[in-house]
Chain A
Amino acid sequence: MIRVLLFGAAADRAGTREIELPLDDGVTLSEVWPLLTEKHPDLAPMRDTLAFAVNGEYARVEDGVSPGDEIAVLPPVSGG
């Protein structure tokens, strides 16, 4: 399993802040996205605006994820 954390408008659209997804070994971040939108289709239109983090650091979509990882879905940041 992986834990997916959602923030800001993404949490709002999904209606939840945390999702658990079953995951095989040898999967990239880009392959997680369809699993996420299957459960929460309202997230799909946000795709191009989002960044992702794996275990607390920005990650590229081609980066691998492993069971036990924490993935964060990050809308455009707006601190300050």
Chain B
Amino acid sequence: MFAIVEEPLDVGALIRDAQMPGCGAIATFVGTTRIDEAEGAAVQYLEYEAYRPMADRKLEEIGAEIEGRWNVGHVSIVHRLGRVDPGEASVAIVVAAPRRGPAFEASRYAIERIKEVVPIWKREVWSDGYVWVGSQLGSRETATW
């Protein structure tokens, strides 16, 4: 399953969907909101936006790339949009494969490719302003606005 959603991710359900008799390994990567702190300020939450449907299509392309490179039985990539509070999941990747090597490698590949090609952006909302990650632009004084 490849999806972009606005509600909290149900990682357990994604793992259950990946369980199948032909696979002996399920690797799961979950990206979560981390509270960074600097100069007496802290991240309060992250906010994600996407260019759809291009972003949806790019997730599917990553899935196709994985199936072309590794022997896998199942790939799910789900990314959340909107506000994601500390500790909550913004992205979940679940790869089932007959053996653990391809499952680990493919899940790592998926998150790295997401960060390269999928048109999704995150804004760190700090206690003293915000920063667009990647552009390093925003309303915080420390950003290069």
Contacts and interface: CB of A to CB of B under 8 A. Distances in A.
Interface residues of B, number: 29
What does DSSP make chain A's interface, helix, strand, loop or mixed?
mixed
Interface residues of A, number: 21
A78 B55 CA distance: 12
Contact of A75 (B48, B114, B121): B121
B111 A75 contact: no
Contacts of A79: 48, 50, 55, 79, 90-91, 114-115, 118, 120-122
Interface in B130-145: 132-135, 137-138
Nearest to A76: B134
The 9 closest A-B pairs by CB, nearest first: A79-B120, A76-B134, A8-B121, A9-B135, A78-B134, A9-B132, A78-B133, A9-B137, A56-B54
